[in-house]
Amino acid sequence: MNDILRRLKRLPWREMLQISALCNLIIMGIELFLAWAAIQFPAVGNALGLLFRSPLHVFIPCLIAMGMGALAVYFFEFWQQQFLLNRGSLWTLIFCLLLGLFFKSLLLPAFLISLSETSLIGVAIGVFWKGRPYWRSW
């Protein structure tokens, strides 16, 4: 038990939360831009309406969550090179991203992605797909 707590304390929590906040801000920016573009330009609004009325609308939140998870791993690889990613830190990154989605859901209504089972699955797939080289290390 003591070993698990020591491992949790040694994880780069601050960096994970910063990267999670950055990814959530990027997603919020994309959502706000698309909402603004849909209001300002009728063609964009029509295209988004067609996309969200099509059968593919079920996959949109999952794909965005996958991209968000992969983007978070990419940012972590790029900026935090002194920390080694491993299976535990990848799970921590998933937790931080979902925590960011929770706070995002408190600030803005869901447009592209919200905190749900779909986003959990998508974020986990994106993080572990991009973080595939780090699966084996603990």
Question: How does pLDDT run across 68-126, given as a tens digit for each residue?
Answer: 999 999 998 888 766 678 888 888 999 999 999 999 888 888 778 888 899 999 999 99
Question: In the prediction, which pLDDT does 132 show?
Answer: 86
Q: Does the pLDDT value for residue 63 go beyond 80?
A: yes
Asked if 75 contacts 15 with a C-beta cutoff of 8 angstroms, the reply is: no
Question: In the prediction, which pLDDT does 138 show?
Answer: 54
Question: How does pLDDT run across 30-54, given as a tens digit for each residue?
Answer: 989 999 999 999 999 999 999 888 8
Q: What band does 137 get if pLDDT is binned at 50, 70 and 90?
A: low
Query: What six digits make up the tokens of 22?
Result: 């950055």
Question: In the prediction, which pLDDT does 1 show?
Answer: 55
Residue type, 102: F
Q: Tokens 């910063």 map to which residue?
A: 18
